[in-house]
C-alpha cells in the first residue's frame, strides 16, 4: 500500500452487538480496506472503527459502513453519554504515509458528497476541510447535539456543505473532514492522580485557562489513576504529532515530575501509531546521546526502550505501527532473487533484465562496499581519531546502497511499459496518435529510471572519498572495487539513457536530460580516479 489513509468513523451505536459487527464486516469486506480496531462503549452508546486503505478504496469502505448504519441505526431512539448528532456522527480521513493533507481534504469532500447524494442526509465539513472558520472544530458544529438540528439546519449560517438543509430524524447529520493523526499517549507516574493532573495542566495547550496556557501546543490532557496498573498517568491526545510528538511530551513530563520528586515509569501508546512518530523519537535520542544507528529496526527498538513503551503492556511494532500492520512484501522479483538466479535471468534468452538493471546492481554494490569499510573502521580503537568522520560518512553510503535496490526492478518495469506500447493498435489516426504518445511516455520512463541510478550514485562520491582517506587501509582492495563499481554502474546507466534517447522527439527534453547525464558521467570518471590516486599514496 503506497498511500496509507486512516479513516476513523464514529457511529452512534455501542450496545447492539449485531449492528456493531455488521458495520465492522462491511468495512472488512471492502476491497483494499484493512480493519484495525473496533472500540465500543455501552455507556457512551458509541463505536469507533479504525481502518486503513489507499486513496481509491478508503471512501468505498466508509460508504459501505454508512449503508449499514442507514439501515440499522435510528437516532430517534438513541441515548448515550457521548456528544452526538448523527448515526454516522463523524468520519475523519487522516494522512499516514505517502499522502498529503490536501489529498485527504479532497477525499473527505468526495465522501461527503457521495454520502449526501446516496442517502439524502446533511453533511458538514470540519478541520482541514472546513469551508467556514466558525464551524471548523467538531464541538462548534455539534453544539446542542442531535436535538438542536431541526432549529439550526434551517439557518443560513448552518446550511450543510452537502445534502439537504432539512432535518432527517432517523439519521441526524454527519461531520467529515481531514485532520492530523491523533496519538493517544499516556505517561506513567509513581505518584498520585493529583500530581499527574498538575503536570497535565502545566503541559496541555489549554493549560489552566486563558491566563495560564500550557507549555505544549496541540496537546489535550488530564491526570488520572489507573487501578489496573497501580499507578497514575498523564493521559493526553496529541492532536498533531508533527508539532508535539510523543518524545517531546515524555521529556516534558519527566521535567515536571522531577520538580515534584515523582518518578516516571515509562509510557504507553493507546491504539496504533505512525512509524514517523517512532522514528522521530529515535532520531531525538540518537542526537541527544551521540549514538550511531542506521537500521530502522534498531531505531524502533531504541524509541521503545527510551520511552518505556513496554512498561504496562508489550509494545509489538508489528501490531502497533500502522505501516508494519499493512506492510506487504515489496514487488521486487529481480531484487528478491538469489545472486545465482539473477545472473541466470540476465544470461537468459530475454531482452530484460538488461543493462539498466545490471547497472543498478553494480552501483549499489559500489556504495555498499564503501559503507562496509566505514562500518569496519567505526568503533575500532586504533581508529578512534576518525570516529566522528566515519559517523558522518557512512550514512549516505548506506542509504544509497539501499535506495538503489528498488531501481533494479524499476528499470526492467520501465522497459516493459515501452514494449507494451509497441503492441498498441494503429489502425486509425486517433489510435496512431495515442500509440506515439504512449511510446514517448514509455521511453521517458526508461530514461528517467537509469538517470535516477546515476543521480543516486553521484551523491555519494564525497562520502566515498572520505572513507578512502580515513577508512581502514587494510580494506584497500574493497575501496578500489567500490570506486570502480560505482563508476561502472553510473557509466552503464548513462549508456542506457543515451540508447533510449534516440527516439525521443522533444528537443528541449533531450537537451535537459543529456546535460545532466553528461555532467554526472564526467564527475564519475574524475572522482573514481581521485580515489584510486589517494589509495595509491596511502601507506599500508
Instruction: Identify the DSSP state of 181.
Output: P
Give the other-Cβ count within 10 Å of 451's Cβ: 20
CB neighbours of 37 closer than 8 A, spacing ≥ 6?
Answer: 48, 49, 50, 271, 272
Instruction: Identify the DSSP state of 470.
Output: H
Cβ atoms of 262 and 195 within 8 Å: the answer is yes
Residue whose C-alpha cell reads 601507506 in the numeric block: 539
Give the other-Cβ count within 10 Å of 512's Cβ: 11
- The C-alpha atoms of residue 491 and residue 446 are separated, in whole angstroms, by 16
**List of E strands, 214-339:** 219-226, 231-238, 263-270
The runs of H, that is alpha helices, within 296-386 are 296-307, 317-320, 322-325, 339-346, 355-377
Give the other-Cβ count within 10 Å of 190's Cβ: 13
Nearest Cα to Cα of residue 523 among 471, 455, 476: 455
Active site residues: 82, 411
Cα–chain center distance at 104: 14
- The C-alpha atoms of residue 264 and residue 438 are separated, in whole angstroms, by 61
Cβ atoms of 21 and 87 within 8 Å: the answer is no
Residue 238 pairs in a beta bridge with 183, 219
Instruction: Identify the DSSP state of 162.
Output: B
Nearest Cα to Cα of residue 84 among 158, 148, 167: 148
Cβ atoms of 378 and 390 within 8 Å: the answer is yes
- The C-alpha atoms of residue 88 and residue 10 are separated, in whole angstroms, by 6
Residue 183 pairs in a beta bridge with 238
- The C-alpha atoms of residue 18 and residue 415 are separated, in whole angstroms, by 52
- The C-alpha atoms of residue 527 and residue 17 are separated, in whole angstroms, by 68
Would you call 245 helix, strand, or coil by DSSP? coil
Provide the residue count of the chain.
Answer: 540
Q: Which helix (H) or strand (E) holds 264?
A: strand 263-270
Residue whose C-alpha cell reads 555532467 in the numeric block: 519
Residue whose C-alpha cell reads 554494490 in the numeric block: 365
Is the bond leading into 95 cis (omega within 30 degrees of zero)? no
Amino acid at each position: 500500500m503506497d498511500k496509507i489513509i486512516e479513516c476513523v468513523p464514529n457511529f452512534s451505536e455501542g450496545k447492539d452487538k449485531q449492528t456493531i459487527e455488521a458495520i465492522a464486516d462491511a468495512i472488512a469486506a471492502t476491497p483494499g480496506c484493512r480493519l484495525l480496531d473496533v472500540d465500543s462503549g455501552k455507556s457512551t452508546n458509541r463505536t469507533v472503527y479504525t481502518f486503513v486503505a489507499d486513496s481509491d478504496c478508503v471512501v468505498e469502505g466508509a460508504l459501505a459502513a454508512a449503508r449499514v448504519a442507514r439501515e440499522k441505526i435510528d437516532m430517534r431512539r438513541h441515548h448515550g453519554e457521548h456528544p452526538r448528532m448523527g448515526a454516522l456522527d463523524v468520519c475523519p480521513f487522516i494522512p499516514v504515509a505517502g499522502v498529503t493533507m490536501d489529498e485527504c481534504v479532497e477525499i473527505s469532500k468526495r465522501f461527503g458528497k457521495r454520502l449526501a447524494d446516496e442517502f439524502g442526509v446533511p453533511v458538514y465539513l470540519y478541520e482541514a476541510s472546513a469551508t467556514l472558520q466558525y464551524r471548523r472544530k467538531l464541538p462548534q458544529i455539534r453544539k446542542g447535539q442531535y436535538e438542536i438540528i431541526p432549529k439550526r439546519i434551517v439557518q443560513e449560517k448552518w446550511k450543510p456543505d452537502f445534502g439537504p438543509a432539512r432535518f432527517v430524524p432517523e439519521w441526524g447529520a454527519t461531520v467529515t473532514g481531514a485532520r492530523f493523526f491523533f496519538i493517544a499517549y499516556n505517561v506513567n507516574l509513581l505518584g498520585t492522580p493529583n500530581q499527574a493532573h498538575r503536570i497535565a495542566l502545566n503541559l496541555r495547550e489549554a493549560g489552566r485557562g486563558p491566563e495560564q496556557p500550557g507549555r505544549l501546543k496541540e496537546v489535550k490532557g488530564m491526570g488520572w489513576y489507573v487501578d489496573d496498573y497501580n499507578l497514575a498517568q498523564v493521559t493526553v491526545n496529541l492532536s498533531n504529532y508533527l508539532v508535539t510528538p510523543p518524545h517531546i511530551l515524555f521529556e516534558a513530563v519527566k521535567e515536571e515530575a522531577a520538580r515534584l520528586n515523582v518518578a516516571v515509569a515509562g509510557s504507553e501508546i493507546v491504539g496504533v501509531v505512525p512509524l514517523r512518530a517512532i522514528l522521530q523519537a529515535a532520531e531525538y535520542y540518537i542526537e541527544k546521546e551521540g549514538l550511531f544507528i542506521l537500521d530502522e529496526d534498531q531505531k524502533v527498538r531504541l524509541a521503545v526502550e527510551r520511552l518505556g513503551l513496554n512498561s504496562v503492556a508489550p509494545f509489538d511494532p508489528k501490531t502497533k505501527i500502522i505501516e508494519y500492520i499493512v506492510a506487504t512484501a515489496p514487488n521486487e522479483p529481480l531484487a528478491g532473487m538469489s545472486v545465482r538466479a539473477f545472473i541466470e535471468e540476465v544470461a537468459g534468452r530475454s531482452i530484460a533484465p538488461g543493462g539498466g538493471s545490471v547497472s543498478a546492481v553494480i552501483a549499489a554494490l559500489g556504495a555498499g562496499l564503501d559503507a562496509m569499510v566505514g562500518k569496519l573502521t567505526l568503533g575500532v580503537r586504533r581508529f578512534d581519531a576518525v570516529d566522528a568522520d566515519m559517523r558522518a560518512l557512512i550514512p549516505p553510503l548506506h542509504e544509497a546502497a539501499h535506495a538503489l535496490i528498488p531501481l533494479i526492478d524499476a528499470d526492467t518495469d520501465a522497459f516493459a511499459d515501452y514494449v507494451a506500447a509497441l503492441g498498441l493498435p494503429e489502425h486509425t489516426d486517433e489510435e496512431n496518435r495515442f500509440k506515439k504518445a504512449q511510446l514517448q511516455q514509455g521511453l521517458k520512463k526508461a530514461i528517467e529510471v537509469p538517470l535516477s541510478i546515476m543521480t543516486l550514485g553521484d551523491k555519494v562520491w564525497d562520502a566515498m572519498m572520505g572513507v578512502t582517506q580515513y577508512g581502514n587501509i587494510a580494506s584497500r582492495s574493497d575501496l578500489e572495487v567500490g570506486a570502480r563499481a560505482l563508476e561502472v554502474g553510473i557509466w552503464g546507466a548513462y549508456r542506457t539513457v543515451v540508447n533510449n534517447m534516440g527516439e525521443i522527439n522533444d528537443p528541449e527534453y533531450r537537451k535537459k536530460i543529456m546535460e545532466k547525464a553528461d555532467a554526472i558521467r564526467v564527475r564519475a570518471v574524475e572522482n573514481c580516479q581521485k580515489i584510486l590516486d589517494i589509495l595509491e599514496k596511502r601507506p599500508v
